Amino acid sequence: MSAPGKRAAVRTTQAPRITPMVAIAIAAPVVSLLALIIQAPADRQAPAGERAPGTRPLTAQALACPAGDGALVVGSGAQGGGDGSLRRRVAGTVAPPTPVDLPAGGQDTIPSAPGAVVFDATGTLAPSLYAARLGKGERPAAGECVPAVGERWFVGVGSGGDHTSTLQLVNPDTGPAVADVTLWSTDGALDRIESRGLTIPGGGTTTLDLEALAPHRNELAMRVSVSRGRVAATVQDTFAPGGGVPTSDGLPTTAPPATSVLVPGLLRTAQQQVLVLVNPGETEGRVALKVVGARSTFSPTGVPEIRVPAGRVVVTDLTKQLAAALASEDGSLSITSTVPVSADVRSVLAGDVVHHVGVGLAPGAAAAVVPPGGATTLVVDPGETAGTLRVTFLGPRGSELESRLLPGSARSFPVPAGTVAVLVTAKVEFAAALRTVGARGAALLPLRPLVDRQLVPAVAPAWPPQSGR
């Protein structure tokens, strides 16, 4: 190989001109360069990115209602015909299920159905099912029926002498379920309580008195997370304002911790309005409050910035401030925090306790049963976008109205007497609650989004394969 090289060398030194060798020497890098230019860009060969889930109509739905002796109201937000069935059974018993005759889009009131009732809907009745247990006493009261989900937050529960809460856990499936209960108090997370790994037998129910779990705590926040199976959790709260007569009402589940929480449908007048906040995180945060009024959102006077230490429950009395702010208009509390918090406003009206909970913003349809015992108002809080709102008052004399929802201002609508349930539909995000105020007290039920479709995860073989180690 060296011989021709020498020859080439001699030739170039004698006559510097473009020999074939020189031409090739120039061509080689040029060809390489061209090849590099047309080369395809780098390929990560990583697993395909996110695959959005699909949806399909919900074909089975179970709602668990709190135990009680009041009437049950169940409704269907679905439209159209088709096959579907609805049955009710009492969790923890072997009694056969009772069929419920409910047309799609209709409502039914079951006057007496004691125990932890579970509604099992299939087919066309499964989508958009909602239900609630109404109070039987003289004071307005109501407890929502809930589907089983992985995590529930309840803020403003208690286990003290004049404030006790009861947690009801229902397992709608046949296999056992396991739930963990975590409690926070004003002194921090209660980690010495035996609240992990509560097993609820298949089809059964477990009722947990918080007093037995962590006694002598008036202000608590609770998270119920399900580690095995499915569990529907509801809370019944009993409160004796000022050591008076204890009154009981359902404590609806509140929105999970977030930096922005909306508490719709505050009472305009109340003996007591207490904001209970929990910061389950590990860093301290600051919370600012605003009131979303009928015309604008404003900061109520005299409300300082609230400090929420890590892992603590903070209780702030807002009776005066809210009374001043809501004197002339219906409104909601908008909570902005530097760390995720969960909130509840506990009000006392005429000696009756009522809980206002954080409600998440969502578009679409939402419904709630109207709590009995007084005049009911629907309060709708807007999200960031303006849009049209359709309100349907369901009942024997059903009516409908349309309204415009503007950011920054809450809308309230009086609910006609005789209305059984209210359905709100919007293409934009909103949060809403039904507030009933009577002479003997008040009750509140937040509107819950109606689930009519089931998430179908996109399933694909793992590629490239993972080792698992």
Partner 1 sequence: MPPVRVTALLVSHDGARWLPAVLAGLSGQQRRPDRVLAVDTGSSDGTVALLTEAQTREGWGADAVLELTGSFPEAVDQALARIDTEWVWILHDDANPDPRALAALLEAAEPADGSPGAAIAGPKLREWPSLRRLLELGVTISATGRRETGLERGEYDQGQHDDIREVLAVNTAGMLVRRDVLVELGGFDKHLPLYGNDIDFGWRAARAGHRTIVVPEALVFHAEAAHRGQRRTAETGRRTRTHRHEREAALHTLLANVSARRLPFQLLRLVVGSVLRMLGFLLARLPGHAGDELVALVNVLLRPGVLIRARRARARLGTADPERLKKLLAPWWLPYRHGLDVVTDFASAAASHGRESAERRRLARAGETGPVPDEAEDLAADTGLLVRLLTSPVALASLAVLLLSLWGAREALGPLTGGALSPSPESSGDWWRLVTEGWHELGQGTDAPAPGYLLPFATAATLLLGEPAVVVSLLFLVAVPFAGWGAWRFLRVAADLAVGRPASRTTLAWGALAYAAVPVASGAWGQGRFGVVASAALLPWLAHAASGLFERSVELRWRAAWRSSLLLSLITMFTPSAWLVTLIVVGVLLGIGFRLARDLVAQREVWLPLATVVAVPPLLLLPGAVGLLGHDVTAIFLEAGRLAPTPGAIDLVAGRLGSPAAPVWAGLALLAPAAAALARARTRVPVLACWLFVVTATVLAALLSHLDITLPAGDARPGLGFLLVIIQGALVTAVVIAAQGLWSGFAGKHFTWQQPVAAVLAAAAVLVPVGGLGWWLTSGDDDLHRPRASVVPAYMIQAAEADSANGVLILRGSSERGLAWEVHRGDGPTLGEDEILALTGPDQHLGDDVTALVTRPDPEVVAELAGHGIAYVILPRPADAQVAATLDAASGLTQASAGDRETRAWQIDEPVDPHAVTGDGSWWNPVLLVLQAIGFVVVGVLSGPSRRETA
**Minimum CB distance to partner 1 smaller for 13 or for 112:** 13
CB 171, CB 204: distance < 8 Å: yes
**Minimum CB distance to partner 1 smaller for 58 or for 102:** 58
**Minimum CB distance to partner 1 smaller for 108 or for 173:** 173
* CA distances for 22 relative to 26, 28, 45, 322, angstroms: 6, 10, 41, 90
**Minimum CB distance to partner 1 smaller for 127 or for 293:** 127
Q: Diameter of the chain by CA atoms?
A: 118
Count of residues near partner 1 by CB under 8 A? 69
Binding to partner 1 by residue 458, rule CB under 8 A?
Answer: yes
CB 442, CB 345: distance < 8 Å: no
- What contacts 469, CB < 8 A, 6 or more positions away? none
Binding to partner 1 by residue 44, rule CB under 8 A?
Answer: yes
Binding to partner 1 by residue 50, rule CB under 8 A?
Answer: yes
**Residue 26: its H or E element:** helix 20-38
**Per-residue mark of binding to partner 1, 14-43 (x: CB under 8 A):** -------xx-xxx-xx-xx--xxxxxxxxx
DSSP assigned state of 322 = H
Q: What is the chain's length? A: 469
Q: How far apart are alpha carbons 281 and 341 in whole angstroms?
A: 8
Cis peptide before 201 (omega within 30 of 0): no
CB 443, CB 247: distance < 8 Å: no
Shortest distance, position 236 Cβ to partner 1, whole Å: 24
**Minimum CB distance to partner 1 smaller for 439 or for 455:** 455
- Interacting positions 152-191 with partner 1 (CB under 8 A): 172-177
**Minimum CB distance to partner 1 smaller for 177 or for 221:** 177
Shortest distance, position 205 Cβ to partner 1, whole Å: 16
Q: How far apart are alpha carbons 146 and 66 in whole angstroms?
A: 9
Shortest distance, position 340 Cβ to partner 1, whole Å: 18
- Interacting positions 427-446 with partner 1 (CB under 8 A): none
Tokens of 148: 């089983």
Q: How far apart are alpha carbons 398 and 416 in whole angstroms?
A: 9
**Minimum CB distance to partner 1 smaller for 12 or for 260:** 12
Nearest to 419 by CA among 366, 372, 380, 381: 372
- What contacts 305, CB < 8 A, 6 or more positions away? 286, 287, 288
Shortest distance, position 191 Cβ to partner 1, whole Å: 15
Shortest distance, position 320 Cβ to partner 1, whole Å: 42
Shortest distance, position 11 Cβ to partner 1, whole Å: 8
Binding to partner 1 by residue 150, rule CB under 8 A?
Answer: yes
The answer to whether the Cα torsion of 10, 13, 17, 21 is positive or negative is positive
**Residue 323, φ and ψ in degrees, nearest 5:** -60, -40
Q: Which range binds partner 1 by CB under 8 A, 80-88, 138-146, 223-231, 393-401?
A: 223-231
Shortest distance, position 452 Cβ to partner 1, whole Å: 16
Shortest distance, position 120 Cβ to partner 1, whole Å: 12
Binding to partner 1 by residue 45, rule CB under 8 A?
Answer: yes
* CA distances for 200 relative to 130, 228, 362, angstroms: 24, 10, 31
**Minimum CB distance to partner 1 smaller for 8 or for 324:** 8
**Per-residue mark of binding to partner 1, 51-70 (x: CB under 8 A):** xxx--x--x-----------
**Minimum CB distance to partner 1 smaller for 13 or for 301:** 13
Binding to partner 1 by residue 204, rule CB under 8 A?
Answer: no
Q: Is 230 helix (H, G, I), strand (E, B) or coil?
A: coil
**Minimum CB distance to partner 1 smaller for 229 or for 300:** 229
**Per-residue mark of binding to partner 1, 226-245 (x: CB under 8 A):** xxxxx---------------
DSSP E strands: which ranges in 350-420? 352-357, 362-369, 375-382, 387-394, 399-405, 411-414
Residues that bind partner 1 (CB under 8 A): 1-2, 4-6, 8-9, 12-13, 21-22, 24-26, 28-29, 31-32, 35-48, 50-53, 56, 59, 148-151, 172-177, 226-230, 454-469
